[in-house]
Structure 1
Amino acid sequence: MKNSIILFLVTMSFGLGYAQSNIDNVLTEIAKNNKSIQANTNYWNAQKVQYKTGNSLYNPTVEYDYLKGSPAEAGNQTDIIVTQSFDFPTVYGKKNQLANQLGIQADLQLKAANQELLLEAKKICIELVYRNKLQVPLTKRKEATEKWLAHFKKKLTTGDGTILDVNKAEIQLLEIRKQFQDNASAIAKLNEQLTSLNGGIAIRLTDVGYFETPVIADFDTFVKEVEAQDYIRKTLEQEKVIAQKQIEVSKALALPKMEVGYHYQGILGQTYNGIHTGVALPLWESKNTVKLQKAKMTFAESALNDHSNLYYYEIKQTYDRYESLKSILSEYEKINKSVEPIQLLDKALSAGQISVLEYFVELNYYNDSQNSYLEIEKEYYDVIATLLKHKL
């Protein structure tokens, strides 16, 4: 009988079917209420306005000179000059193009930051679902142990039990109550973290089911999909575009600046007026600016290559872990679920076929196995969340 019980303990199983969760609803609320997301949105919107600033004409200049002549008969001289300076005309088009590309980069950086925050929130939800699921068997274990402790105490008063059995049950109950309280505290803390991420608006997740998992393609197909939607990669690619535009702007700024205006001169009762023009020769001001922007372009290319290499192997490791966990959980699904090990243990103990010590040893073995499964299951969904970050 004991061997049969041990065999059933080894072959216990847990299902993988869950009701639809509210994790997506929680993420929707956080995306709407999170203070960091709101602050980031305002910051990058301000940056886009700033990128458009400074591409207008320079302020016009008005000069007035009144020169008193000496001797007196020399007469006085009056000069009025109104000028408008401007860069070479192609500069303004290049600057607008650069501002547009910087605006695109700002949107990418905002999306990347929001994506990381939502992934953090999703992982908290996964941990919370795991804790909620764990609380179910912990509650059952606590209630069952309390029942057995009362039973052993009753037997002790009638002379049919021993103090050792009571002590074993009390020690077992003490450990289970500790696990129960620790898990309840973890649930409360995780819900508080969700509330914090939700901008201080109270939010709770009581689900004991994770999210529905989409079909994940083979690695070669999947990695192309992820890389195509990787906002960090897109940001680095945008850095290259921006560096190229900055080179074009630097070259345009190296062209002569010009000014036009009106010049009035009055002297000895005579007046002169006409057009004022000028050219600023870019001999020193723009020195090395093109070389600097080319260096930035080289750095952007290196950063993109480095990210692509590291990100590829990061995805590969995560994908390999996903397949490993998927295989482990699939094995659990194949195991016969028809027998409840705890019921067998209870019957065996009630019939006197095993001792109290043997009962709690086998029970702890089963509980540890159940806990391990729940941890593996949690990691499985955590890995999926990481793989599917690009969909947030």
Structure 2
Amino acid sequence: MYKHIVFAICGCLFFINGFSQSSSIEKLLEEIEQNNTELKGYQSYINSQQLENKSINNLPDPQFSGFYLPFGKKTTGDYTEFQISQSFEYPTVYAARDKWNLSKTEQLESAFAKRRQELLLKAKNILIELAFFQKQRAIESERRTQSKRVFDQIQELFDSEQVGILDLNKAKIAWMQEQFIVEQIDSDIQIEMSKLKTLNGGNPIESISSQITLPTEIGTIENLWNDKLTSDPRFEELKANETASLLKIKLEKSKTLPNMAFGLNYQGVRGSNYSGFYGGISIPLWNSKYKVEAAEANHNYQQSNTQIITSSLHAEFQENYIRYEVMLEKYNEYKTVMGDLNSESLLFEAYKLGEYSFMEYYLELQFYRNASDKMLQMEKELHIQQAQLLKHQL
């Protein structure tokens, strides 16, 4: 009997199964995305920056100037002059700046997408933690009930003077410890729910399912990396930075062309006046100096930065993927060995039949419970590791 019990480790069937993400998680993440105050604020910031960028491309305000010269020696009447004019940059500058503004908007949107992804990953990890705690609480509640049954049984044996006070005290302590564990888990659940409420814009989440269904197989490392390259906001942000820096070069080059001004002019004295058109042109000698070179240097930096960050992210991705594969393999081995067993019930039956003393029963019980807890912890870590690998799909 003992040999059978030694190999009986509680499976509890806390396995990752299915091949698609749970719709309940998707709905919760959608709700958080809609209610999150940071994302709402960031969207307003993007709108304000878009309008500000557009305002930079406006024409300067028209200028009105006038002269009235009544003083001095003169043979004619007082001299009067009025002029209204409109200055503007070379027309190609506005087209170049408009394209640059659009690229700035893309930068803002990619930064928003990256922040959105980080917040949703944080929320998803909290949901995984909550599911873990709920599963753990169900287990510990059952253990608490069982500890109470053992304590009651030993209380009866103690009352009939079949066991001593030491066994009774040990049974009571074991029961009290299980009560404390359940209370601690309840506290942890409240903390995680509070975090989730904050991410949800202060709106409470009504219920969280303890059954999280996530795929165990996430594809080959090559396919997953290619997916990241095309859809991960971090890479989109790098591309947007490169595009903006390239358009900045074109803008600065177009600004080396002269600015112009046109208007109407009136000059007159008593009995005589002149009116006509006004035109002017600037000579771009100083204002654009070094600006093209600076823009080109920044573009070179952005290209280099893209290569460096991409290499760093690829190395991090490979490390996480290998760690996940190793963990998944170990988890599957655990699942194969422990999946169909119910060791705690078997051990309790052996204890009731008198095959174990209380201390022997308790020590064996802790061994099986530690194995069960280890498996549940591995499941949670697999979920979290997988969420990190599939972060680009959020």
Aligned to 1:139: 141
Aligned to 2:8: 8
Query: Would you say the 8 A contact 1:264–1:273 is kept in 2?
Result: yes
Partners of 2:35 and 2:72 lie apart in 1 by 76
Query: Would you say the 8 A contact 2:151–2:171 is kept in 1?
Result: yes
Secondary structure at the aligned position of 2:281 is classed as strand
Aligned to 1:333: 335
Aligned to 2:124: 122
Aligned to 1:82: 84
Offset of 1:73 from its aligned partner?
2.8
Query: Would you say the 8 A contact 1:18–1:209 is kept in 2?
Result: no
Total equivalences in the alignment = 391
Partners of 2:140 and 2:14 lie apart in 1 by 18
CA change 1:354–1:62 in 2 (3 A) is same
User: What is the one-letter code of the residue matched to 2:94?
Assistant: Y
Offset of 1:28 from its aligned partner?
1.3
TM, length-normalised to structure 1:
0.95
Residues 285-331 of structure 1, C-alpha deviation per residue, up to 9 Å, x if partnerless? Answer: 12111122112112211221121011101111111122112212222
Secondary structure at the aligned position of 2:175 is classed as helix
* Pick aligned residue for 2:366 from 364, 368, 376: 364
1:260 aligns with 2:262: yes
User: What is the one-letter code of the residue matched to 1:387?
Assistant: L
Aligned to 2:280: 278
Moved more, 360-369 or 69-78: 69-78
Residues 331-375 of structure 1, C-alpha deviation per residue, up to 9 Å, x if partnerless? Answer: 233225444211221122122211111100010111111111111
User: What is the one-letter code of the residue matched to 1:128?
Assistant: L
Within 5 Å, which residues of 2 pair with 1:299-338?
299-335=301-337, 337-338=339-340
TM, length-normalised to structure 2:
0.95
Q: 5+ unaligned residues in a row in structure 2: which ranges?
A: none
Offset of 1:154 from its aligned partner?
1.1
User: What is the one-letter code of the residue matched to 1:269?
Assistant: G
Aligned to 1:222: 224
Residues 96-144 of structure 1, C-alpha deviation per residue, up to 9 Å, x if partnerless? Answer: 1111111222221111111110110000000000000101110011110
Query: Would you say the 8 A contact 2:14–2:379 is kept in 1?
Result: no
Residues 19-67 of structure 1, C-alpha deviation per residue, up to 9 Å, x if partnerless? Answer: 9562222111101111111111111121112121121221111110011
Partners of 2:42 and 2:106 lie apart in 1 by 15
Query: Would you say the 8 A contact 1:78–1:267 is kept in 2?
Result: yes
1:28 aligns with 2:30: yes
Query: Would you say the 8 A contact 1:13–1:332 is kept in 2?
Result: no
Alignment RMSD, CA only? 1.8
CA change 1:215–1:17 in 2 (3 A) is closer
Aligned to 1:391: 393
User: What is the one-letter code of the residue matched to 1:300?
Assistant: Q
Within 5 Å, which residues of 2 pair with 1:347-358?
347-358=349-360
* Pick aligned residue for 1:191 from 182, 190, 193: 193
Partners of 1:139 and 1:226 lie apart in 2 by 42
Partners of 1:25 and 1:211 lie apart in 2 by 14
Within 5 Å, which residues of 2 pair with 1:37-48?
37-48=39-50
User: What is the one-letter code of the residue matched to 2:3?
Assistant: N
Offset of 1:92 from its aligned partner?
0.8
Partners of 1:21 and 1:163 lie apart in 2 by 53
Offset of 1:8 from its aligned partner?
2.0
User: What is the one-letter code of the residue matched to 1:14?
Assistant: L
Partners of 1:104 and 1:7 lie apart in 2 by 59
Partners of 1:205 and 1:363 lie apart in 2 by 32
Query: Would you say the 8 A contact 1:126–1:210 is kept in 2?
Result: yes
1:96 aligns with 2:95: no
User: What is the one-letter code of the residue matched to 2:391?
Assistant: K
User: What is the one-letter code of the residue matched to 1:3?
Assistant: K
Moved more, 265-274 or 234-243: 265-274
Secondary structure at the aligned position of 2:75 is classed as helix
Aligned to 2:208: 206
